[in-house]
Amino acid sequence: MSPLLLATDIPVGDHIFWKVAGLTIDADTVLATIIAGVIVLAAGLYLRARVTADVPGRLQLAFETIVSGVSRQIGSTMGDEGRPIVPLAVTLFVFILIANWLELIPTGHSPQYLPAPSGDVNFTLGIALFVIIAVHVTWIRHQGLRSYLGHYFKPYKVLFPINAIEELVKPITLALRLFGNIFSGGLMLVLIADLLPTKLIAPIPILDVVWKLFDGLFVGPVQAFIFALLTILYFEAAIAGSGH
């Protein structure tokens, strides 16, 4: 057992890189994101072709359960005005869930060819910015520009700086919440491995598999649900108004 694990010994941002036009791109994150998107689209097209009003298949039943749960959550707070948010929330949940599950596929390479993209802050910040920008656009469309600008001065005008900072940090907190929970799984594995005696190093691959199964099957769905739920809450304020 090593006497001390330094912060510099913990791998952070360990990726497969591409050099494109002088830019460094996390190739594994890009590849995993594209594959997750293709899987979501393929599953949607397959489900659309096989959908039935009779006895539904497993995929249709799972999808209908997710859509029903999201529709109830949105309908109870936003009513019919929130119906356009249902496809976005469902898509985000399924997309992030599949992206997290990609890490369960063994590739036999270190770093992995298909890591969970949520463990890369670039991925989480990208979808967080997309959500928050859509929220602001929706707020202006539903409440008007005057109402949108006015909410920065409520309940008191003196609170404008605080309200402005709160809106600016929303995409950052949304991104870091998802990134931190997924990325911490890798750090936990490193720390646990370092605490084991040297003679027990052999079982590390087994430990890796067990931890990834736990992280993917339990932590992954929870984090996908939380991101989708926060998206719904942000859109609720945009559609119903800040005083809702």
Average pLDDT over residues 174-190: 71
Mean pLDDT of the region 141-147: 88
Domain assignment present for 220? yes
Q: What is the mean pLDDT of the chain?
A: 79
Cα 227 from Cα 233, distance rounded (Å): 10
Q: Residue 202 — very low, low, confident or very high, per pLDDT cuts 50/70/90?
A: very low
Q: Which residue has the higher pLDDT, 3 or 236?
A: 236
Q: With respect to residue 107, please indicate whether it lies within any of the assigned structural domains.
A: yes
In a domain, 188, yes or no: yes
What pLDDT was estimated at residue 177?
83
Residues 213-230: pLDDT tens digits?
666 677 778 888 889 989
Best-predicted range by mean pLDDT among 25-29, 93-97, 195-199? Answer: 93-97
Number of domains in the chain: 1
What residue numbers bound the domain in which 229 lies?
A: 7-240
- Looking at residue 189, its pLDDT comes to 59
Tell me if 47 is assigned to some domain. Answer: yes
Average pLDDT over residues 48-64: 83
- What is the identity of the amino acid at 84? P
Average pLDDT of span 2-29: 64
Give a yes or no: residue 2 inside a domain.
no
In a domain, 1, yes or no: no
| Structural contact between residues 38 and 47, judged by C-beta atoms closer than 8 angstroms | no
The pLDDT value given to residue 48: 86
pLDDT tens readout for residues 67-78: 998 898 888 878
Higher pLDDT, 241 or 134: 134
Whether this prediction's pTM lies above 0.85 is answered by no
Determine the pLDDT at residue 112.
66
